[in-house]
Amino acid sequence: MDCLLLHVLTHVPRMTRVRTSQEFRCSFSRQAVERRSLNCLRVAILAYSGSQKSPVWIDSDPLNYPTACTVEVNTTSLPVQMTTSATGARYFEIGFEIILLFGLTELQAQIAYRQNGQEKRGRAQVIYEGN
């Protein structure tokens, strides 16, 4: 299955203590003319390895943002909205959040979305380079 690749940088300042139950979320909204183009998404998780204390923009130090891992999510169960653009073009749209949990020993990821006013969660796979 082909996956659309997205990028995210979760701001966790250096030397920050992270509780095992603490969640870091990043929201996404994606559109496509064909629904199947939204069935699988990969989100690259970037880590800053430079010397700036609080980098704000990736383009200020682009060589120091390697991909730490990639989170892959199957979005076939997410609710889809059919929308019409201002020009009359029709497209599909999904909205979701990627949740990162640092845990005791390994990074875990989940997908969250709203359905009938309630938050639903699903599994996401963390993929490290070389796996």
CB 84 within 8 A of CB 47: no
The stretch 29-50 carries a mean pLDDT of 89
- What pLDDT score was predicted for residue 53? 77
pTM value is 0.81
Please tell me the total count of domains within the chain: 1
- What is the extent of the structural domain holding 57? 4-127
pLDDT over 90 (residue 102) = no
- What pLDDT score was predicted for residue 35? 93
- What pLDDT score was predicted for residue 54? 74
Closest CA to 38 of 84, 101, 80, 99: 80
The stretch 37-63 carries a mean pLDDT of 84
